[in-house]
């Protein structure tokens, strides 16, 4: 198995697990702590906007390569194995990758708050 083949297999597994976690976050049989982890991870992974934009060297891809897979691993471990297998089968059945506009809204809000705070901090004070 070549590196490219194993990377493609890994990417397909990640995509399937993100959709499965999205399904699991809404299932009443999943414990609340697993729902929180699954919901947060799926919302971020399915969001069309990244917290750290990809055009920023090195850091831009850090979330895609490290943070998202670690979040998925945590959420999968917190979800009961039998339920996770059920959610994976449902994710394969659905096939399409949904998008999460709520996740995008949260990220845009975080950027807006950070920009507002930075502007307030850097703005010269009237007392100055």
Q: How is residue 61 written in tokens?
A: 């891809």
Residues 6+ positions from 41 with CB-CB distance below 8 Å: 18, 21, 68, 71, 72, 74, 75
Share the mean pLDDT of the chain. 83
Residue 87 included in any domain: yes
Residue 117 included in any domain: yes
Exposed, middle or buried by CB within 10 Å (0-12, 13-18, 19+), for 123?
A: exposed
Residue 127 included in any domain: no
Residue 128 included in any domain: no
Q: What is the pLDDT of residue 82?
A: 94
Domain of 26 in residue numbering reads as 3-122
- 42, 45, 68, 89, 122 from 17: Cα distances, Å: 9, 10, 11, 10, 42
pTM of the model: 0.67
Number of structural domains in the chain = 1
pLDDT tens for 86-121 read 999 998 888 766 656 777 777 778 888 888 888 888
Those residues of the chain that have pLDDT short of 50 are none
Residue 25 included in any domain: yes
The single-letter DSSP state of residue 2 is -
Residue 32 included in any domain: yes
């Amino acid at each position: 198995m070549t590196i490219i083949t194993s990377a493609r297999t890994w990417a397909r597994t990640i995509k399937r697990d993100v959709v499965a976690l999205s399904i699991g976050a809404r299932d009443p049989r999943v414990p609340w702590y697993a729902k929180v982890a699954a919901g947060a991870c799926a919302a971020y992974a399915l969001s069309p906007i990244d917290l750290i934009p990809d055009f920023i060297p090195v850091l831009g891809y850090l979330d895609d390569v490290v943070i998202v897979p670690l979040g998925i691993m945590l959420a999968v471990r917190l979800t009961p194995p039998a339920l996770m297998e059920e959610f994976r089968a449902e994710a394969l059945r659905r096939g399409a990758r949904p998008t999460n506009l709520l996740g995008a809204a949260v990220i845009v809000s975080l950027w807006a708050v950070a920009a507002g705070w930075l502007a307030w901090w850097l703005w010269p004070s009237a007392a100055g």
